Amino acid sequence: MRLICLNGWGGKLNDELLAYLSSSDPDILCLQEVVHTPAATQDWLTYRDHGIELPQRANFLRDVSDALPDHVAVFCPAAQGDLWHGEVRYPSQWGLATFIRKSIAVIAQAQGFVHGSFSADGYGDHPRSRTAHAVRVFDFRNGQPAVIAHMHGLRDLEGKHDSPARLAQAKRLVQLVRNIAQDGDRIVVCGDFNVLPESETFTVLKELDLIELVTTRGYTDTRTSHYTKQNRYADYMLVNSAVTIDHFDVVGEPEVSDHCPLLLEFR
């Protein structure tokens, strides 16, 4: 099974990203920073926050769905806020999505907030609400189920240090996985955690007997040239001992976001 996990950066590098997804053809795609603006007819809108303006692909969810026509998309919004076209505002949902090949059976799933709750009238104050999604799928080629879970960890304006809120979100992620996992299942947990490698988040995730792949396999960077700040760890992937790894990579090229895709091929 081929799994890709990626923070899509709101589709800022949309053409590059869609081409990469079409060519790599993952069985499951765990995608964070997904934009869904059904009322918009424009391809691009602008996100505004305290003087910062960022281009957003207005219907990023639809674009990725079109690039992966053999997949089912499950969208998990964290908030609905405003995106702009000039002075015209559009209500836009923001969150994460899981794209699952239609030939793979989804036999259980769980969605929940690891921080905050759904905000229907704006993105909210920082640190903003964050959601997670877990699926238990049956892999017919392998003849066994697997649990895949991902989250987009909260962003703290003061940095990626540990905090009570980050500890709580790790515990909620573990509980989300436990809600659907059964004894003997292969388990993969991934996402843009927004923490550093020494974070207590990983101590909590060890409750699921997981091993983190990015740092243990010698990767020192999960960001691309589009990210110019320090502390270049953000994205992680963890597996339990039931997972047989055929290939793992932090994909540096092509650059499709300010984050690198995490690619896992496993049995």
What are the tens digits of pLDDT across the range 208-223? Answer: 999 999 999 999 999 9
Decide if 78 contacts 129 (C-beta within 8 A).
yes
Boundaries of every domain in the chain: 2-266
- pLDDT tens readout for residues 10-55: 999 999 999 999 999 999 999 999 999 999 999 999 999 888 899 9
Element (H, E) at 106: strand 105-115
Tell me, what's the pLDDT at 158?
87
Separation CA 40–CA 129 (nearest Å)? 24
Separation CA 118–CA 113 (nearest Å)? 8
Tell me, what's the pLDDT at 213?
98
What crossing angle do the helices spanning 14-24 and 60-67 adopt, rounded to 10°?
A: 30
Separation CA 71–CA 203 (nearest Å)? 34
CB atoms within 10 A of CB 101: 17
Over residues 188-199, the mean pLDDT reads: 97
- pLDDT tens readout for residues 96-124: 999 999 999 999 999 999 999 999 999 99
Q: Which two tokens stand for residue 141?
A: 């080629």
> Tokens 């003849």 appear where?
143
For residue 208, the one-letter residue type is: L
Question: How does DSSP classify residue 259?
Answer: B
For the segment(s) 2-266, the CATH number from 3.40.50.150, 1.10.3720.10, 3.60.10.10, 3.40.1130.10 is 3.60.10.10
Best CA proximity match to 90, nearest among 36, 40, 54, 33: 40
Tell me, what's the pLDDT at 173?
98
Tell me, what's the pLDDT at 231?
86
Entry pTM: 0.97
> Tokens 């809120």 appear where?
165
